[in-house]
Amino acid sequence: MTAAFPATRLRRTRTHEWSRRLHRQTVLSPADLIWPLFVIDGEGVEQPVASLPGVSRWSVDLLLDRVGEASELGIPCVALFPNTPAGLRSEAAEEAWNPDNLICQAVRAIRDRYGDSIGVICDVALDPYTSHGQDGLLDEHGYVANDATLEALVKQSLNQVAAGTDIVAPSDMMDGRVGAIRQALEDAGHANIQIMSYAAKYASAFYGPFRDAVGSGDRLKGDKRTYQLDAGNSDEAMREIALDIAEGADSVMVKPGLAYLDIIRMARDRFDVPVFAYQVSGEYALIEAGVAANVGDREALVMEKLTAFKRAGCAGVLTYYAPFAARILNG
């Protein structure tokens, strides 16, 4: 029971900076951050993403410097996303399991230079490889075929693991994909490969800049509402998370992050697995637009939002601001 004023003055502990730090309940560190990086074909190529100010696509040789930067800043792992050349995209997404695709080239290069000193997460979904921009294979009616897609996702996952990835992160939202991937990993002797499942991925308006970055936005035919979650549903998100955990997910992702803090908190309270959030491209772009419009200081806006994710219960945050935030946190 709290004593009444003036015996209790809650402002006492806020009077000095040292005291505010001493009493801070939620603490953010570089170890809470994951840096998403976009990979592009070529050599010596940095290609800025117009809809994501300050974010670029990198050829593998330059990507290695970004990975080294992450390691030096104390960021524990990076997440890789390819911008597959147009000529390699197809209806059946065969490039996803090509052992020499952009992602596999990048993972092998990271392993060759940095060994096991930094973790690598690979996205498992077909949209960077399909000519139609959907996360799965289409049937004769144009519907994303769940079970046929599972076979493709398994091949994609095993291909990434063979290249040296540590974590496969299925973001496709097909039913049963975590179980199928987990069984395939076990059968292939990869018992220690983690699955970070995008278990609660919503059909969101915040994904536009990301789709530009991976080159799937102008190819997308239709939308993704038949497999991604409806923004009005929370109970369904809990069912998705429960199923993915039962099928073998080691951690789960809520995407987008800021608009779904309630989902993060519900998941953290209900399930005994780490919950991560993706501060998605649209959220990043909104902050940058706000800074440009003089809404607020970039450092203050970024750190407040990242702290909100941690306060909601996140084990970590996948964010394009990872190196920026890590430098601030490192002083």
**pLDDT of res. 217:** 75
Structural contact between residues 270 and 293, judged by C-beta atoms closer than 8 angstroms: no
Structural domain contains residue 78: yes
Note the pLDDT tens digit of each residue in 272-330. 999 999 999 999 999 999 999 999 999 999 999 999 999 999 999 999 999 999 999 99
**pLDDT of res. 164:** 98
Structural domain contains residue 288: yes
**pLDDT of res. 270:** 97
Structural domain contains residue 18: no
Structural domain contains residue 244: yes
CA–CA gap between residue 309 and residue 266 (Å, rounded): 13
Average pLDDT of 66-71? Answer: 98
Q: Which residues are designated catalytic?
A: 201, 255
DSSP alpha helices (H): ranges in 271-297?
Answer: 281-292
Three-class DSSP category at 85: coil
Which is nearest to 243 in space by CA: 318, 182, 185? 182
**pLDDT of res. 62:** 98
Please give the mean pLDDT across all residues of the chain: 96
Read off the CATH number of the domain in which 125 is found. Answer: 3.20.20.70
Q: How many domains does the chain have?
A: 1
Range of the domain at 56: 28-330
Token pair for 222: 């239709």
Q: Indicate if the pLDDT at residue 86 is higher than 80.
A: yes
Does the annotation flag 288 for ligand binding?
no
